[in-house]
Amino acid sequence: MEIGNMRVINIVEELVWECINEVIEHRPGKCRCDRCIADICALALNQMKPRYVASDRGKTISKAAFLEKDLKIALLVVVADAVERVNANPRHGVE
C-alpha cells in the first residue's frame, strides 16, 4: 500500500518469499510452477502474524528480528508444511 511517497509493507511476506526459495531448493521433485509457488506463499502467510513497516529503518529492524533462531525456525516450518500441503493437492491447471 502506498500513501503519498510512503509505502507500507508486510515484512513477513518478503521473508516468506525468501524462505520458499530456500526450502524449495532442498526439496527435489516439488512443483515450482507459478501457481504452486503462489499457493505456498498464501498458505504460509495465513499461518504467520503479519508485521507491517512504513520505513526502510523498520524494514531493517524487522529483518534483523528474523535472524532470531526461533522466528527463522518457525518460518521455515510453516513454509515447509505449506510446500508439502500444496504439492499433495496442486491446483495448477485448475481455475
Take residue 92 and report the three cell numbers written for it.
495448477
Answer yes or no: is 93 within a domain. Answer: no
Q: How many domains does the chain have?
A: 1
Residuewise pLDDT in 10s, the chain (95 residues)? 556 667 788 888 888 998 999 999 998 888 999 999 999 999 999 999 888 877 666 556 666 665 567 778 889 999 999 999 999 999 877 65
Contact of 17 with 45, CB cutoff 8 Å: no
Note the pLDDT of residue 85.
Answer: 96
Residue 95 lies in a domain: no
Question: Domain for residue 69, yes or no?
Answer: yes
Q: Which domain holds residue 51?
A: 2-88
Q: Is residue 9 part of a domain?
A: yes
Q: What is the pLDDT of residue 88?
A: 94
pTM: 0.79
**94 domain-assigned:** no
Closest CA to 22 of 92, 86, 88, 80: 80
The confidence score (pLDDT) of residue 54 equals: 78
Residues in Cβ contact with 80 at an 8 Å cutoff, skipping those fewer than 6 apart: 23, 27
What was the pLDDT predicted at 58?
A: 56
